[in-house]
Amino acid sequence: MVVVRVAPSPTGDPHVGTAYVSLFNYAFRRKHGGRFILRIDDTDRTRYRADSEAAIMRELAWLGLSWDEGPDVGGAAGPYRQSERTDLYREACEELVRKGAAYRCDCTPERLEKVREEQQKRKEQPRYDGHCRERRLPPGPPHVVRLKVPLDGETTFMDGLRGAITIAHKTVDDQVLLKSDGFPTYHLATVVDDHRMGVTHILRAEEWINSTPKHVLLYHAFGWPLPKWYHLPLLRNADRSKISKRKNPTSITWYREGGFLPEAMLNFLALMGFSLGDDKEVFSLEEFVDAFEPDAIKTSGPIFDLQKLEWLNGVYIRQMAPAELARRLRGVSAVARDADERKLLTTIPLVQERMKKLTEYDELCDFLFRDAAPVGAEELVPKGRTPAETAAMLRRARDVVAATDPVPATLEAGLRALAEGGGWKAKDLLMALRFAVSGKKVTPPIIESMCVLGRDACAARIEAAAARLGG
RNA sequence: GGCCCUAUCGUCUAGCGGUCUAGGACGUAGCCCUCUCAAGGCUAAGACGGGGGUUCGAGUCCCCCUAGGGUCACCA
C-alpha cells in the first residue's frame, strides 16, 4: 500500500505551490490506492499564524484535493499537527544522541554568527565548525541537538525522476534537529513523522534535494527503511526564479476570490508538470488521475503563466452547465450574489462565452441589475448625425421597445426596420442604444440585454438619454 | 563562490535514433463572422543553447562548455 503526504507550514496564505505538490500526491494516492495524509508542519513558533491552518484546509478542499487523514478528520497515525508530537521528536533525539548519530550543542547564536563571519572572510563554506561534536554535553542546560554528519564520504539516494543523486558529506552541515525551544526542525520532524505514519513515497519540491542526505542519514541512524523520493520541479516566476509573492499571485485564496474555478486551477497545475499527450490539454481531475504516472512527471521548472490559466478558466466557464455557472457566480460576484434566480439565469447565455473569470460578471452585467451611468452626446451620437437627429431616433426606438415583446428576434426585427426606415445604419442605432441602456461601450449583446432588462426600464433609460441630448 | 538540479517556439509542451522541411496549445499579428466585446473559423511569424563524440543516420545516446534555477539557518 502506498502512503503519501503533504506537509504545509501554517505561516501565511495557502500557497499555490502547496496546491501543486498536493495535486501530484493526490493523484499518486488515487492511482495506487492507499492513503493521502495532510500534516501540519507548525514547528516554527515565530512564523506561525493561527488562521493559516484553517485556510490551507479550506483551499485544498475547495480544489477538491481531499485527504484521508489530517488534523480535521483524524486517523490512526495522529496527531497530525507536529506541535502536538514534540515528545516523539525529543525521544527520537535522545535515541540519536545515544547512538552517536547526533550530539548536543550549546553554542550561542553570537558564536555561530562569529564563526560564520570568519568563514566567509576566508571564503569558506559557512557551516557549523563542529565545536560541540565531541563534547558529550549532558542533557539539561539550554542546548540544541545537531546531526553528526560524517566528515568524509558521500550519500547517494534515488530520485524517482532523476535517478541516483550523490552528495558529498563535506557539503552537508551538522544540521540542528531539535531547537533550543524544544521544537524540532523540519529535517527531524519530517523523518520521524514520515516513518511513523508509514509514508512510502515522498513527492515534494525540488528545493529539498540538497537536504535529502540529512534525511537519509537519519533513516539509517534509526534503522528505518527508506521511502522513495520524487522531487517535483519548482513553479517559476516569469524571470524563472522560484515563484514568489512579489512577482506572482501565490495565494490560492487570491485565485478563488478572483473568479478562478478549481477545475481550471487543477488542470493548469497538472499541465505544469505532466502531459497527457500533445492534443490533450483540457482534462478533468479524473482523467488526470487515470493518466498519471509518477515517472512521467516533468523535471524542468515551468513558468506560471497567468494568461494561460485565464484561457483555461474561460474554457471551463464555457463548458459549464448554465445553472451551475449561476451557482458559482453567486460565490464571487457582488451583483450575482443577491440577484433573483430567474433573472440571473437569463443573463447566463449573454455572458458565458465572454468571461475568463467569474469576477468579470459584475463589469459585464451590473447595468442589468442597477441603474446605468448617464452618458452624453459624445457617446450617444453616431458619426455624421446631430444630437437632435439622434434624440429623435432614440425616441422612436423607445416607442418600438415599449411596444414590442421582449423577445430578441422580435425586438431586433423591429429595431432594424426602424433604422432602415429612418435611413440609419442598424449598428449606429444599436450602439446608441447600448450607451443609452447600459451607460457603456462594451456590453453583452444589447438586444438580448434589453430583453432581460424589460420594456419599461429600457424605455425609461432611452428616454433619459434622449432628454440629455436636449431633445 | 561550493554543491546539486535543469535545458525543443516568448510561455506550457509532443518528440522515447530514421516517419522532424520538428507537431499541438497559450500569447502575438492578419483575415472571416459580427450590434460592441467576446466566442468561433482560417492564416502567419516563432524553437531543437554551443562544441565535441557514438552511429550508416541525433532534437532523441555520451562528454565538455554555456545558460538558468535551487541550496548552503535554532525557516520550511
pLDDT in tens, chain A (471 residues): 899 999 999 999 999 999 999 999 999 999 999 999 999 999 999 999 999 999 999 999 999 999 999 999 999 998 999 999 999 999 999 999 999 999 999 999 999 999 999 998 888 889 999 999 999 999 988 999 999 999 999 999 999 999 999 999 999 999 999 999 999 999 999 999 999 999 999 999 999 999 999 999 999 999 999 999 999 999 999 999 999 999 999 999 999 999 999 999 999 999 999 999 878 999 999 999 999 999 999 999 999 999 999 999 999 999 999 999 999 999 999 999 999 999 999 999 999 999 999 999 999 999 999 999 999 999 999 999 999 999 999 999 999 999 999 999 999 999 999 999 999 999 999 999 999 999 999 999 999 999 999 999 999 999 999 999 975
Cα–Cα distance measured from residue A421 to residue A425, given in angstroms and rounded to the nearest whole number: 10
Domains along the sequence of chain A with CATH: 1-66+233-319 (3.40.50.620), 85-232 (3.40.50.620), 320-367 (no CATH), 377-468 (1.10.10.350)
Nearest residue for B14, CA–C1'? A278
Selection from A299, A291, A262 nearest residue A275 by Cα: A291
Over residues A341-394, the pLDDT tens digits come to: 999 999 999 999 999 999 999 999 999 999 999 999 999 999 999 999 999 999
Task: Give residue A124's pLDDT.
Answer: 87
Helix (H) or strand (E) holding A105: strand A102-105
Task: Give residue A313's pLDDT.
Answer: 98
Task: Give residue A100's pLDDT.
Answer: 96
A245 is catalytic: yes
Selection from A102, A105, A125 nearest residue A115 by Cα: A125
Task: Give residue A125's pLDDT.
Answer: 87
List strand B contacts in A 307-336 (CB < 7 A). Answer: 307-308, 311, 314-315, 318
Instruction: Judge if the beta carbon of A299 is closer than 7 A to nucleic acid strand B.
Output: yes
How many other C-beta atoms can be found within 10 angstroms of the C-beta atom of residue A337?
A: 12
List strand B contacts in A 365-404 (CB < 7 A). Answer: none
Nearest residue for B37, CA–C1'? A442
Cα–Cα distance measured from residue A127 to residue A176, given in angstroms and rounded to the nearest whole number: 11
Over residues A414-457, the pLDDT tens digits come to: 999 999 999 999 999 999 999 999 999 999 999 999 999 999 99
Q: Which nucleotides of B are covered by protein (CB under 7 A)?
A: 1-8, 10-15, 23-27, 35-40, 68-76
Task: Give residue A287's pLDDT.
Answer: 97
Instruction: Judge if the beta carbon of A273 is closer than 7 A to nucleic acid strand B.
Output: yes
Burial bucket for residue A266 (CB in 10 Å: 0-12, 13-18, 19+): buried
Task: Give residue A277's pLDDT.
Answer: 84
CA atom of A203 to C1′ atom of B28, Å: 37
CA atom of A311 to C1′ atom of B27, Å: 10
Closest nucleotide to the alpha carbon of A209, via C1':
B4
Selection from A171, A184, A250 nearest residue A44 by Cα: A184
**ipTM (interface pTM):** 0.97
Candidate list A114, A245, A427, A441, residue with the active-site label: A245
Instruction: Judge if the beta carbon of A427 is closer than 7 A to nucleic acid strand B.
Output: yes
Residue A184 · residue A87 · CB < 8 Å:
no
Cell of A216: 537519509
How do the residues of chain A divide into helix, strand and coil, expressed in percent and rounded to 5? 50, 10, 40
List strand B contacts in A 64-123 (CB < 7 A). Answer: 107-109, 112, 116, 123
